[in-house]
Amino acid sequence: MSALKNDRFIRALLRQPVDATPVWMMRQAGRYLPEYRATRAKAGDFLSLCKNTELATEVTLQPLQRFPLDAAILFSDILTIPDAMGLGLYFAEGEGPKFQRPISSQTDIENLSVDVLSDLRYVMDAVTMIRQALDGAVPLIGFTGSPWTLATYMVEGGSTREFKKIKRLLYANPTAMHLLLDKLAIVVTNYLNAQIDAGAQAVQIFDTWGGVLSHASYLEFSLDYIQKIIAGLKVNRPDGTVVPVIAFTKGGAPWLEAISQCGCHAVGLDWTVDLGIAKAKVGSQVALQGNMDPNILLAPISVIEEEVKRLLASYGQHDADSGHVFNLGHGITPDVEPEHAAAFIEAVKQFSPYYHQ
């Protein structure tokens, strides 16, 4: 596969000098783009789009054809794993993801197979095809959900705001909870390693629901498993390159120091964290990624530009052991105008070089 022509993103994650702050957006291939909506209509539904190698490649590349982004991210979904484990993923119109067979007992957990990589072959095929299509233009990010986040969907049966079922399991039967998380950690480790073997040049672990846990529960039921996964990843490649790992916990501010010590190369921050304070606490140990509120993209372009400048100034001047990847604090929302996303990216390109002199 082709050598990287733009390695700014990888270098920043490894805290190496760069000429400008690299930028990409979580959910950058998505419903805010009219070309994405057209391709999704062609696929028939979201899951069919994920499982069609050619169309998944097409939508992965769409934002890069529009914007000067510094990375591509595989188009897929974190719930491909529980789907492969037999829970029957489907997407109800207007309701988000649901499972036909959610976990409701310890027996259900005991019966879960961890030998599911063959059912996820379509993801690895997409990684390989995307890498070939990128031809080294920018790096490709692979990703997964954290065991805790995947478990919440598997036990709740879909999206939730209350987390009653998963927390009942955690508190009433922690042995079963750990069994589920252990199985998911095995699958996630194998899955990320398969993505790396297929060509992913960085990987991100999305712990979307870690922030709903108590302090002690987060460390035991979420971060401990993220740490186990990272310890099992093949980040040092035979060709001498390193595949950086980003750990992103939404609502993870209370555990910033702990997350920075989990073995990751970079900590993803949501918008509730002060970037400058995070840098002062852990910025000499890990790179930081983030952390603009996605809803600022709904504001006038002048507001977007001022927020980019404020965050760049908050992180401040880059030195020998610092690294920052500009991103949103969560995924871009479907109601954002593409022109506003373009203004955000252009502002990072325009104003960040000053901090790398």
Q: What is the pLDDT along the chain (357 residues), one digit of tens a residue?
A: 788 999 999 999 999 999 999 999 999 999 999 999 999 999 999 999 999 999 999 999 999 999 999 999 999 999 999 999 999 999 877 778 999 999 999 999 999 999 999 999 999 999 999 999 999 999 999 999 999 999 999 999 999 999 999 999 999 999 999 999 999 999 999 999 999 999 999 999 999 999 999 999 999 999 999 999 999 999 999 999 999 999 999 999 999 999 999 999 999 999 999 999 999 999 999 999 999 999 999 999 999 999 999 999 999 999 988 999 999 999 999 999 999 999 999 999 999 999 999
Helix ranges restricted to H, the chain: 8-13, 34-43, 46-51, 53-66, 80-82, 106-110, 121-134, 147-156, 164-172, 174-198, 215-218, 224-231, 256-260, 275-282, 301-315, 338-351
Angle of the 53-66 helix axis to the 34-43 helix axis, nearest 10 = 170
Mark whether 161 is an active-site residue. Answer: no
Residue 333 token pair = 């929302």
Task: Let me know if 239 is a catalytic residue.
Answer: no
State how far the Cα of 104 lies from the Cα of 107, in Å rounded to an integer: 8
DSSP assignment letter at 91: E
Nearest to 219 by CA among 189, 182, 262: 262
Name the burial class of residue 147, with classes exposed (0-12), middle (13-18) and buried (19+) by CB atoms within 10 angstroms of its CB. Answer: buried
pLDDT of residue 96: 85
Region label for 176, one of left (φ > 0), alpha (ψ between -120 and 50) or beta (otherwise): alpha
Catalytically annotated residue among 77, 108, 274, 293: 77
Please state whether the peptide bond connecting residue 193 to the residue before it is cis, i.e. omega within 30 degrees of 0.
no
* Separation of alpha carbons 196 and 155, rounded Å: 29
User: What's the CA gap between 33 and 27, in Å, rounded?
Assistant: 11
Task: Report the C-alpha gap between 195 and 197 in whole angstroms.
Answer: 5
Cβ atoms of 247 and 259 closer than 8 Å: yes
56 half-sphere exposure, CB direction, 13 A CA radius: 23
Say what the pLDDT of residue 1 is: 75
| Token digits of residue 47 | 């899951």
11 an active-site residue? Answer: no
Q: Are the beta carbons of 308 and 347 closer than 8 angstroms?
A: yes
The catalytically annotated residue of 31, 37, 101, 121 is 31
Q: Please pick, among 27, 66, 101, 121, the residue that the annotation labels catalytic.
A: 27
pLDDT at 93: 74
pLDDT at 91: 86
* pLDDT confidence of residue 2: 80
For residue 354, the model assigns a pLDDT of 98
Tokens of 174: 């922690």
CB 202 within 8 A of CB 142: yes
Among 153, 218, 225, 315, the one annotated catalytic: 153
Marked catalytic residue, from 40, 70, 131, 225: 40
Is 27 tagged catalytic? yes
Residue ranges of alpha helices (H) inside 74-120 are: 80-82, 106-110
Tokens standing for 44?
């028939």
Whole-model pTM? 0.97
Residue 67 pLDDT: 98
Q: Distance between CA 65 and CA 46 in Å, rounded?
A: 21
Query: Which residues, other chains included, contact 68 with Cβ-Cβ below 8 Å and sequence gap of 6+?
Result: 345, 346, 349
Q: Is there a catalytic annotation at residue 19?
A: no
